[in-house]
């Protein structure tokens, strides 16, 4: 799809596959103009870099809306009961993103007071917000209770806190009970959560005792169950297995007298970061989950629950690209060439954390043939600060603009100020227009919370 603002643009084909947004490496509106320059959302990336500086996070509105609609359409066509897709805002939490997903009729999953405030201020209806976390603070719980968000009950300690808060403030809690389903899947072990040895949720063996206890709590409404098996998952089988484990738990909850109308199967659908990645599309994932839940409920004679899911990465990853300016270069004869960019592990910690792979091109010469193999390093004082290892590019010059694809999820949200490097600005683009959604930090901003005790003040 090409932005309607620039009919002369040609779609940019890197990893292009229009069957589903999470199968594209590039945003849906990525296109090359007559001048050979890459644009997204009808905006030349070169112009965005000039106007907003680099590094710059660029979000494509059309890709975001397309993926929200893909989830909604798939749920409506494959699941006969009620359903709701909740955006897992840990993937990218901002006022703009909240407002956009709310306008597309999605709900939101938050994991902290910060994400809750962002969701509420961004205009998300609190009845469509769920609060997660294995160690929520009393303040976070109270905030959720007072705005009538749903709390994903994670553990016994939290149960005690909630009871105290509800009784103390005359509140009722709408709860989904989270448990570990005991399902293994193939993803990086840091982002696997469904296996039994996980910090999240109740052990399945404790469900009977827990649900019996909750049946006697007049402050709690057990509205359903939650489980999440992990992230960046390409297999469909674990999601099918999850449906039957969850249906057993649903049957138990209803036997014990709970309304248990909601079944929240979490998120986890993977995306393409490099051409060899081959995740299912959004429609295929939803169809698998929806059919599995339906079959599992029919088999047990259960009325269909409302089906909730919590996609994060597959909603936002490929909508985002990051622009960097190339600076220095180091050629190590017959070993390696490093080119360094003006960001790195502080704006994208995924390569150093999970050994994640990415795809990149030069904004000014996106279609030029590869002439050299380079390793793209960041500017941080750490050898492991490498964004892309051994990638083929046209010969790279200082001042070139490097575009890294599929950086919309878990980049901005996991960014840091390591080495006191300010976080990048973020813009949203569409129809040839770019709007700032996050101001660039400045180095001076980073001193805002520092305090110098009297006895350490320099003597003048």
Annotated binding residue 338: no
Annotated binding residue 313: yes
Annotated binding residue 295: no
Angle, to 10 degrees, between the axis of helix 138-146 and the axis of helix 113-121? 20
* Pick 277 or 310: Cβ nearer ligand LLP: 310
Among 217, 309, 361, 381, the active-site one is 381
Least gap, CB of 299 to ligand LLP (angstroms) = 26
Whole-number Å distance between alpha carbons of 58 and 408: 8
Characterize the bridge pairing of strands 262-264 and 220-226: parallel
* Pick 95 or 414: Cβ nearer ligand LLP: 414
Whole-number Å distance between alpha carbons of 262 and 2: 39
Contacts of 456 by beta carbon, 8 Å cutoff, 6+ apart: none
* Pick 258 or 313: Cβ nearer ligand LLP: 313
* Pick 22 or 37: Cβ nearer ligand LLP: 22
Assess whether 381 carries a catalytic annotation: yes
- Rounded-to-10 torsion of CA 344, 347, 349, 351: -50
DSSP 8-state code for residue 255? H
Omega before 55 within 30 of 0, i.e. cis: yes
Least gap, CB of 232 to ligand LLP (angstroms) = 6
Report residue 284: phi and psi, to 5°.
-65, -40
Token pair belonging to 27: 């945003």
Residues binding ligand LLP (CB under 6 A) = 88, 90-91, 109, 132, 191, 193, 228, 231-232, 266-269, 310-314, 350, 354, 410, 414
Q: What angle do CA 89, 420, 424 make, to 5 degrees?
A: 45
Whole-number Å distance between alpha carbons of 303 and 293: 11
Annotated binding residue 312: yes
User: Is 175 in contact with 167 (CB distance < 8 Å)?
Assistant: no
* Pick 38 or 152: Cβ nearer ligand LLP: 152
Token pair belonging to 146: 């007072």
* Pick 191 or 251: Cβ nearer ligand LLP: 191
Annotated binding residue 444: no
225-to-13, 222, 343 alpha-carbon distances in Å: 41, 8, 41
Whole-number Å distance between alpha carbons of 406 and 282: 16
Token pair belonging to 429: 């683009």
* Pick 266 or 424: Cβ nearer ligand LLP: 266
* Pick 132 or 365: Cβ nearer ligand LLP: 132
- Rounded-to-10 torsion of CA 262, 266, 272, 278: -80
- Sign, CA dihedral 367-368-369-371, equals negative
Least gap, CB of 231 to ligand LLP (angstroms) = 3
User: Is 91 in contact with 413 (CB distance < 8 Å)?
Assistant: yes
Annotated binding residue 237: no
**Ordered alpha helix ranges (H), 152-281:** 156-169, 207-215, 237-255
Annotated binding residue 384: no
Least gap, CB of 354 to ligand LLP (angstroms) = 6
Whole-number Å distance between alpha carbons of 297 and 303: 7
Annotated binding residue 79: no
Of 438, 436, 405, residue with least CA distance to 29: 405
Annotated binding residue 382: yes
Least gap, CB of 362 to ligand LLP (angstroms) = 25
Least gap, CB of 314 to ligand LLP (angstroms) = 6
Least gap, CB of 78 to ligand LLP (angstroms) = 18
User: Is 386 in contact with 405 (CB distance < 8 Å)?
Assistant: no
Least gap, CB of 456 to ligand LLP (angstroms) = 37
Contacts of 451 by beta carbon, 8 Å cutoff, 6+ apart: none
- Residues with active-site annotation: 381
Task: Give the annotated binding-site residues.
Answer: 268, 310-313, 350, 354, 382, 410
Task: Give the annotated binding-site residues for pyridoxal 5'-phosphate.
Answer: 268, 310-313, 410
């Amino acid at each position: 799809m090409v932005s309607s603002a620039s009919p002369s643009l040609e779609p940019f084909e890197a990893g292009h596959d229009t069957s589903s947004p999470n199968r594209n490496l590039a945003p849906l509106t990525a296109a090359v103009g007559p001048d050979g320059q890459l644009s997204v959302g009808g905006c030349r990336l070169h112009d965005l870099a000039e106007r907003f500086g680099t590094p710059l996070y660029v979000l494509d509105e059309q890709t975001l809306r397309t993926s929200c609609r893909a989830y909604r359409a798939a749920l409506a066509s494959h699941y006969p009961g009620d359903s709701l897709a909740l955006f897992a805002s840990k993937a990218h939490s901002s006022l703009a993103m909240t407002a956009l997903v709310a306008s597309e009729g999605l709900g939101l999953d938050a994991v902290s007071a910060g994400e809750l405030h962002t969701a509420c201020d961004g205009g998300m209806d609190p009845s469509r917000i769920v609060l997660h976390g294995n160690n929520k603070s009393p303040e976070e719980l109270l905030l959720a209770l007072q705005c009538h968000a749903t709390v994903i009950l994670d553990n016994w300690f939290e149960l005690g806190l909630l009871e105290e808060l509800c009784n103390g403030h005359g509140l009722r809690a709408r709860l989904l009970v989270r448990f570990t389903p005991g399902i293994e899947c193939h993803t990086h072990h840091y982002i696997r959560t469904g296996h039994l040895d996980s910090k999240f949720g109740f052990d399945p063996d404790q469900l009977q005792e827990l649900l019996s206890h909750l049946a006697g709590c007049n402050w709690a409404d057990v509205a359903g169950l939650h489980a999440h098996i992990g992230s960046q998952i390409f297999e469909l089988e674990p999601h099918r297995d999850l449906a039957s484990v969850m249906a057993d738990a649903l049957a138990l909850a209803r036997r014990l007298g709970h309304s248990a109308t909601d079944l929240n199967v979490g998120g986890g659908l993977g995306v393409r970061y490099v051409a060899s990645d081959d995740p299912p599309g959004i429609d295929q994932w939803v169809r698998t989950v929806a059919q599995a839940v339906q079959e599992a409920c029919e088999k047990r004679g259960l009325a269909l629950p409302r089906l909730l899911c919590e996609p994060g990465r597959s909603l936002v990853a490929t909508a985002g690209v990051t622009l960097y300016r190339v600076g220095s270069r180091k050629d190590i004869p017959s070993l390696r060439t490093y080119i360094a960019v003006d960001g790195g592990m502080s704006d994208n910690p995924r390569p150093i954390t999970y050994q994640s792979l990415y795809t990149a091109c030069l904004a000014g010469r996106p279609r030029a043939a590869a002439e050299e193999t380079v390793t793209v390093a960041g500017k941080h004082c750490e050898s492991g600060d490498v964004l892309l290892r051994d990638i083929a590019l046209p010969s790279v010059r200082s001042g070139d603009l490097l575009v890294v694809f599929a950086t919309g999820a878990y980049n901005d949200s996991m960014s840091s100020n390591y080495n006191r490097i300010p976080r990048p600005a973020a813009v949203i683009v569409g129809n040839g227009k770019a709007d700032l959604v996050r101001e660039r930090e400045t180095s001076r901003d980073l001193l805002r919370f520092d305090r110098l005790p009297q006895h350490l003040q320099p003597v003048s």
